[in-house]
Amino acid sequence: MQEKKVKGFSLLELLVVVAIIGVISSVSFRPFMKWRSDRIVRTEALNVTSVIQNIFSQVQRGNYSFVQFQVKKSGNEYHVSSNGMGIERFSDLVRDKYSGSTLNPFHDFTKRCSSLEVNLTWDHQGSIHEDVLTVNKIEIDATKIELGVEGTEVSTEGGMVCFSKDGTYYSPSGIFLDGSSPIERLFICSKRSSADCNSGGGENTFALEWSRFGNISLKKYSEKFGWIEQ
């Protein structure tokens, strides 16, 4: 019987294979990283949208009479949470309109939702009542994700938006209030494109929008088509 000759790869063949793999990897690396970054931002944008949609739906269902959506920064994390107030506490605030001849802060659109101006006592807080399904709190890695509004980033002060069922007691505060005008858009973007996050445009940028009557929507920016609803 003739012996079979077993021939392995030569060094040159191995080098050619390694070179081909290197070229393929370098070509596909950038699209992969872009896809990964987009997926991370999209996930967090959907999570933030879910928090505000859920708490708004609770006040519409009558589970609460007054609710709050809150965003602030703490160290390397953004904290996004929601709070709910029952009818008893809310009715007390509505009835208590004046202190002497002075209008109480709760009845001032620019002060109503501010914890610095009004002692808002919540029946359920997302940051405390983790076992209550009607409120929520999420944490976002600020080293990967940037949150901001037009012209500014989310700071330790942050901002809050309060809703009532018919929109009568709607009120923003902090970064969501520009003088006496509400800012009803929150940008969510990749940390790599943070320069664009506060100006409303750029790669991997999402915009969460709302109004006093809800109308909550999430949009993604496209250089070709502008803002596209998700």
Q: What is the model's pTM?
A: 0.83
Q: Are 57 and 69 in contact (CB under 8 A)?
A: no
- Residue 45 has φ and ψ, to the nearest 5°, of -60, -40
Q: Are 169 and 118 in contact (CB under 8 A)?
A: no
Q: Are 158 and 70 in contact (CB under 8 A)?
A: yes
83-137: pLDDT as tens digits: 999 999 999 999 999 988 899 999 999 999 998 888 899 999 999 998 999 999 9
Mean pLDDT of the residues in the chain: 87
60-74: pLDDT as tens digits: 999 999 999 999 999
Position with higher pLDDT, 44 vs 225: 44
Contacts of 79 (CB under 8 A, 6+ apart): 70, 71, 72, 73, 127, 137, 138, 139, 140, 158
Per DSSP, what are the bridge partners of residue 83? 68, 125
- Look up residue 156 and give its DSSP letter: S
pLDDT exceeds cutoff 60 at 37: yes
